[in-house]
Chains A and B, each alone.
Chain A
Amino acid sequence: MRGVFLPRLLSACVVVVGVCSLVFLLIHLVPGDPVEVILGESSQPADRAALRAALGLDQPIAVQYGHYLQQLAHLDLGQSMHSRKPVVDLLAERIPATIELAVAALTVAILIAVPLGIIAALNRDRVGDHAAMSFAMLGVSIPNFWMGPLLVLVFSLWLGWLPVSGRESSASLVLPALTLGTAMAAILSRMIRTTLLDVLGEDYIRTARALGLGRGRIILHHAMKNTLLPVMTLIGLQLGALLAGAVITEIVFSWPGIGQLTIEAIQRRDYPVLQGCVLIISLTYISVNTLTDVVTAWFDPRIRLRGD
């Protein structure tokens, strides 16, 4: 048991430290002077030096790095250069909206992908398969910054059914979730099709069939159960794409989440906020992936029992 989980958790910790360091390097080595951004280009050299000292930017980079890690360990992400609020508070304000969007998109993806994958697998190389896989191909080829405007054009502007943007009512969640969910549905349905085809060729499916079990029962009870683990792993991996896609989707729909905050931080050159956003998104991704691995291992006795 421990033999499987402990190394996984340890390597996740190493990656977390690595990600934090890379983000630090990114912010500190890329050209652009935060002091000039705060004070403006016409500021006095003396003022700049004073602020630089106050922010600790005049110290050697190694000292700054140590200070940064120390702050992180205390969950202190610094202060926004724009609003002067603590970055942690700004993130906390925006996180619920992004979680809401991600969960809704994930639901959309599963609701589309599961039936589509099953239809494709059961009709292998026939019309149903081709139709489902063409849809999947289309889904991965339409970027969400075009999908979003298209949906707005049809459902908001022409039909007038749904709001264009914002987060005022539950109806405003529909279009962003569809935009973000379809790309994932496309990848997921291809995966379900492939896995299901593999499983359907197994001996125990033939046995079930020979025993005279109904087709629906075989698919839902015996086959789908065994596609669950690879699908779960893929969902964990795809969550990264989902989070990155959320940045663009939130911009398209003015959805007040972490993605919008990221772009605002870039536009205002608000380094601490940008750093906080990148960190929170990456750390979420690492946690979800580690969790997926552990849960998958837990559900799969072949992995779970190997360590004992």
Chain B
Amino acid sequence: MRERVAWSIILIWALAALIGPTLATGANVVDLDHILSWADAGGWLGYDDLGRPLGARLLVGARYSLLVAFWVVTVSASVGTTIGIVSAYIGGRTDHLIVRVIDIFLAFPGILLAIALAGLMGPGIDNVVFALSVVGWVGFARLARVQTLSLKHREHVQAAISLGSRSGRIMFKHLLPLLASPLIIEATFAVAGVVIAEAGLSFLGLGIQPPTPSWGSMIRDGTRYMLVSPHMVLVPGLTLMLVVLAINLLGDRLGDRLNVRRGGV
């Protein structure tokens, strides 16, 4: 039951990202008659401080949050996994060096590095994707490395080595498929993390820039008018929470099903 609700939320999110912006043509139209006003027939979730309909802005924001999440997780998963597998497979000094680099990146707490990077490079969706990927690859690299270390002594890998298979083939044909379950779960939680991080950067004014709507900057705009129109904070925040909750829930269920325990939690 819960799982079905979670899937529906994600489906709506994806649909909104796909066709939302075509439906929501009025997302950036300033309407002075509707400034800060509550919901009506035209704007079913109320209006913001410039009289723009929140519902339409949410739909457009959905596209950006999904886009950023998709790119960041794709880039960091492919780069991180490759580095992790190669490092563990080659071993020796290369592995030692890569472990050090991973440790150094992990020494920056949370999204601090992304905040600094996004701040230095200036706002914009490309920079957000870049900053979050620079932070994101580490988790995948660490996971892929640890898993490969325990898998590379398996018989089928040893057999492939003695049959003279090329290293690339062994890594991506014989090792990668065995890493798939933990990596998929890591990626699921990473999507939730990136959605929050993108909104966080936009909340700080370092992400997607106005007038383009982002859920994070909508929350920030809303905090200025909380007393008169709390819906400006409540609507985007609730949307963000539902999406993240749905992804986390599915990640948990997936973990139970694939029988993977996450480190630490």
Contacts and interface: CB of A to CB of B under 8 A. Distances in A.
Interface of A: 11, 14-16, 18-19, 22, 26-27, 30-32, 137-138, 140-143, 145-146, 149-150, 152-153, 157, 187, 190-191, 194, 234, 237, 239-245, 247-248, 251-252, 262-263, 266-267, 274, 278, 281-282, 285-286
B40 interface: no
A245 B109 CA distance: 9
B245 A141 contact: yes
A251 B112 contact: no
B90 interface: no
Contacts, number: 137
Interface of B: 100-101, 103-105, 107-113, 115-117, 119-122, 192, 196, 199-200, 203-206, 216, 219-220, 222-223, 226-227, 230, 233-234, 237, 240-241, 244-245, 248-249, 252, 264-265
Contact of A248 (B204, B233, B241, B245): B204
Query: Interface on chain B toward A: helix, strand, loop, or mixed SS?
Result: helix
Contacts of B103: 11, 14-15, 18
Given A30-B121, A251-B204, 4 more contacts: A152-B223, A153-B230, A244-B111, A262-B115
Main secondary structure of the interface of A (DSSP, over half): helix
B116 A274 contact: yes
A231 to B, nearest CB: 11
A281 B252 CA distance: 31
A240 B216 CA distance: 22
A210 B100 CA distance: 49
Contacts of A14: 100, 103
Contacts of A137: 245, 248-249, 252
B244 A143 contact: yes
Contacts of B121: 30-32
Contacts of A286: 107
A22 B107 CA distance: 11
Q: List the 8 closest pairs (A to B, CB-CB), nearest first.
A: A244-B110, A240-B109, A266-B119, A18-B104, A146-B237, A141-B245, A30-B120, A141-B244
A22 B226 contact: no
B116 A241 contact: no
